[in-house]
Amino acid sequence: MAGDNAFGFGISQKSQEILGKTPGLLEAVESISQPTAFAPGIELRIVNRRELCAELLHELQQEFGNSDRLEVNFGMAVTNVNTSAQVVTVVDETSNTTLQQPYSLLIAADSANSAVRSRLVEQGQLECQRFYADYTWKALQLPKQPLLSASTF
């Protein structure tokens, strides 16, 4: 998805190890990302956030798409999570209707400022701490460079 304005996402070494536990997943992510030395001793793979989401969804659908084990919902805003009943309350943003969805595994892929995580912390179901690295960086989007290709990185 070159050319879009999505922010780059850094995948840490620990995250890469976790991705490597699912056959083929780390290799799929490596194919759409670039290695970088973020800071001394910190190696990351940088990936376009939209490409990462698309690849993770593709891998899920490849593994579970033809079964009743996977249901992916978009355009839903989480308003409550009941972990004891395994039910999530969502508002469908297109119809503005409230739905109760049962789940066996809830994956909260709703950003660094996760509404799901916030609800779980508020309910005492999850402890969360944020740590900030003492590094500053900025992402720049340059116009297409005619003499530059991915192989030159």
Low-confidence residues in the chain, pLDDT < 70: 1-7, 38, 108-110, 131-145, 148-153
Residue partners of 37: CB distance under 8 A and separation at least 6: 43
Question: What sign has the CA pseudo-torsion 117, 52, 29, 59?
Answer: positive
Q: Are 25 and 144 in contact (CB under 8 A)?
A: no
Q: What is the pTM of this model?
A: 0.63
Q: What is the per-residue pLDDT for 64?
A: 84
Q: Round to whole Å and give the CA distance between 69 and 66.
A: 8
Structure tokens at 23: 């056959």
Q: Round to whole Å and give the CA distance between 91 and 80.
A: 10
Q: What is the CA radius of gyration of the chain?
A: 18
Q: Round to whole Å and give the CA distance between 119 and 128.
A: 11
Structure tokens at 114: 């996760």
Element (H, E) at 13: helix 13-19
Report angle CA 96, 102, 103 to the nearest 5 degrees.
115
For 47, counting Cβ atoms within 10 Å of its Cβ (0-12 exposed, 13-18 middle, 19+ buried), the class is buried
